[in-house]
Each structure stands twice: as structure tokens, then as C-alpha cells.
Amino acid sequence: MAKKDSTKSRTDSQLIAKIKDRTARVGVVGLGYVGLPLSMELARAGFRVTGFDILPKKIKLLNAGRSDIDDIPDELVKSMIEAGRFKATPDFRQIARMDTLSICVPTPLSKTKDPDVSYILDAVNRIKTYMAKGILVVLESTTYPGTTEDLILPLLEEKDMKVGRDFFLAFSPERVDPGNTEYTTKNTPRVVGGITPTCTRVAKTFYEQSLPHIYPVSSTKAAEMVKLLENTFRSVNIGLVNEVALMCDRLNLNVWEIIDAATTKPFGFMPFYPGPGLGGHCIPIDPHYLSWKLKSLNYYARFIELAGDINSRMPEYVVDRITGMLNRRFAKALNKATVLVLGVAYKRDIKDVRESPALDVIKLLEDKGAKIFYNDPYVPEIEWNMSKHKSSKLTKGLINKADLTVILTNHSLYDYQWIVDNAKAIFDTRNATKTVKKNRNKIELL
């Protein structure tokens, strides 16, 4: 539950009034996949938004009216800059002028899968240095339950200000789904939990000005747990369906047929689909935050650990299937084969390669001696095995040269019938060739 408010003052009502009449000066720390869309929605709602980031290249790009985020067009950034509603800066001293600050920085895992909250702590220490009385601070970065209350609150109270009276602190988990045109930052319901009831009320008022659906919860810890439940739900169910795919392989069944048939049930079933592994910033990472936290409480999160183990092994399974396919069809060893990979983004129709399983598959194939070419219309260049590689133009000559074509990301720009017609053989990890009519004998599915 939220803490009780400190002795009341008029600070909250003054800030709420500034928020409602759009005179509040709004800051967003971190201008990536979460921070930039949030900045644009706040600017469109009439606020003057200052975006803070430590990357000079990003600052220069944004202030030139250009976007590096899939879902944010250049025209939107340019229009907000020209209207005087958005600017990007590396100067954190300007925090002293802000009435609200949203923290949208990365929260990766360490090599040992422990939470790395260093970006959050860096942002909070910058805020602590410059913040003025009456500010609202909201953490949006995904983290383990207790982060806002146990890590951020003590740091901010070192300013000799009291939460709920002199400043307001809340957590509101981002729910960004890159490439999703139906549900965006604007229309996805927003969960908000404050350290105190007044903190919740101020944060709720702030988000209500730009977003239509706000759902308050009892505390920051509850809001943090909501986000982890959402992505653990996906991770566990994807782990389940990936294991079903392994079972169907052993049973000589088509897992995609099984899922399609099960989906006809109008109740009690929700389809998830197998693939070469998990990608993106959230689903491969967030459940480990919860698992790590529970270990500190002497509780072993078995579902999370098992799903993580299955999902993390899928790239190896894909490589094993590729090896077997080359042996059966061409009597060719992997270390003498040329493999063309189609799609390296972690999901279809975006350029985001964060945690993409395609990179793991490619690295494993190259480590085993295969010659790799890749094509991705959204990703012109990527790095693996310490070297940069460019996307090859998808031509008939290239696809004819490959012993095997592997579909790792099912971009809708691809002409799958043309690919099947011209490839020697295809391993399809996404069922992208489902509608292909001719030459289906060339295809093997995950």
C-alpha cells in the first residue's frame, strides 16, 4: 500500500493547476523507444517538453526534426520543434526548471542476469542534483518491485524534501509495442502508482492530460509488479508453445496446424506462436527482474526460470534443424554450406534488433563454419562476431547461391511465393510461407 502523505501543503494543488493549464514545464529523461513517443504525446497535448539524453548524435538528430524510432515519423518531430513544444538537450542543469520529469532509460540485465539499474540511478542522481521543490518524478523504466520506493525515494529525500509534500514520486510502466499501429502510447491504458495517495493523484492528473485511459493502483510496488506480470505472462506462454513445437517435431506433427485448430475454441484458449527465440527489450528481460527479486526473498520462480531456459535454447534448436536439413536434402555439412537469413529484427516490420534471436542464430551458424548472408529491408547493417555486416540485396542470384534460406523474421514486405520459387530449400521459423501455393516441398517449418 502507498505510504501516508506528509503534512499537507499547497504544493500538490499548485502543480496540478499548472499541469491542467499546460504551463507545467515537462521533462523526459531518455529519448528512446519509450521516451520519444511519450514526449510527442505530451507535446501534442500542449505541453512544452524538454527531452534529456546523453547521446549527442541523438540530440542533434531530434533537434534537426528527424526520428530514429520506428513509430515516430520525422514529420511529427519536426512539427513539434517548429511549434516550440519540443526540444532535446544534453544539459541536465535544465532539470532545475522542470515541473515534471519522466524517467525512460534502459534497464538491461548483466551477464549473470542480474538487474542493471545503473541507468536509473544515474538519471536519479542527476535529478537530485538539480530538482526544485514541487516537482513530479515518474519512473517508467521496467524494473523489479520495490525499486521506486527502496532506491529512488531515499536518494531524492537526501535533498531534505519530503515525498507527498515537497515532491511527488510515482511509477507508471511503459507499454510500448514497437510496430503496433493499433495500440500506441496514446490509446494503451496507463497504470499509475504513487509513493503516497497525493503522489498517485498528481501523477494521474499529469497523464490524463495526454492519455485517455488511466488506471491507478495502490502503490509504486503494485505498478512495478503489473508490468512484470504482463511480460512474464507472455514469456511463459511463449515458452510453453516453443516446447509444444519441440514435442510436435518429435511426434512428426505440424505445430502450426495444431495451434490453428486449437484457436477455433471460442473460450479458454489464447494462441501464442513458436519462433527462433525471444527478442525485444521487454519479454526476454523483464521476467528475470521478478525472478531475481524473488530469489532475494528465498523464493524460486520455477515457471519463469523454466520458460527462460526453453526460450533461450531455441536458437540452438534452430541451428540443429538447419544442420539436419542440409544433411538430408543435400548431403552437405554446415561448415561447407552457404546460408541466407531473411529478417534480423526481433519482430516483423520494424528495425529494432534488441535481443533479436536472429543474431544468436547467425552467430551459432558462423561459429560452426557456415557462410552467412542476410537480408532485412529494415536493418541495413548489423554487427555479429565483432564485425559489421551489410544487408545483401535480395536478388534471384543471391537466393540461388544459398544452399538454404532461413526465415527468421516474417516481414510483410517479402514476396514469399517468389522466395520459395527461387530458393533451393527453406527453413521457415515463423510460418511466413503459410499462404504459398507452389513448391511447398521445398519448405520445412519450425
**CA–CA separation, 281 and 108 (whole Å):** 8
The answer to whether 248 is a known catalytic residue is: no
∠ CA(216), CA(222), CA(227), 5° rounding?
90
C-alpha cell at 14: 499548485
- Per the structure block, which three cell numbers stand in for 367? 561459429
Q: Which residues pair with 171 in a beta bridge?
A: 139, 193
Separation between Cα atoms, residue 393 and residue 396, nearest integer Å: 10
Q: Could you identify the residue written with the cell 496446424?
A: 257
Contact 164, 199 (CB under 8 A): yes
| Active-site residue identified among 104, 199, 248, 282 | 282
| Cβ neighbours of 274 (radius 10 Å) | 26
Nearest C-alpha neighbor of 122 from the set 97, 149, 141, 144: 141
Strands 381-384 and 387-390, sheet pairing? antiparallel
d(CA 136, CA 197): 13
Contact of 167 with 124, CB cutoff 8 Å: no
Please spell the DSSP secondary structure of 109-139, one letter per residue: B-TTS-B--HHHHHHHHHHHHH--TT-EEEE
CA distance 420 to 260: 22
Q: Are 284 and 113 in contact (CB under 8 A)?
A: no
Closest CA to 294 of 233, 230, 229, 236: 229
| Strand partners of residue 102 | 28, 138
Number of C-beta neighbours around residue 78 at 10 A = 16
Q: Provide the 8-state DSSP code for 141.
A: S
Known catalytic residues are 282
